[in-house]
Amino acid sequence: MDTTGRNPSTTQAVRGFAYDHLPPKLQEVSRPFHDLAQELIDRLPDDPELSASLRKLREAKDCAVLLAAIVRADEGSG
């Protein structure tokens, strides 16, 4: 995500949305969160509320990817 010229708090908040390093099935879960974060960056100005929304979106992404990884592991062990 390009955060050139953005407030450091915005730049910090977008860390963790990369998904290229994940296995394909987890990328499918993570990608929509990345895309929404990018859309928020494109549409909204730097503001504490933007930083908060990005942090919370990242938390939601982490939960969803974790669940997908657990389900994937369970399917592989069965």
Return the closest-CA partner of residue 3 out of 18, 25, 21, 19: 18
Q: What is the C-alpha separation between 32 and 21, in angstroms, rounded?
A: 15
10-residue block means of pLDDT along the chain (78 residues)?
92 94 97 98 96 97 97 80
What pLDDT was estimated at residue 70?
A: 96
Domain residue ranges of the chain, discontinuous segments joined by +: 8-77
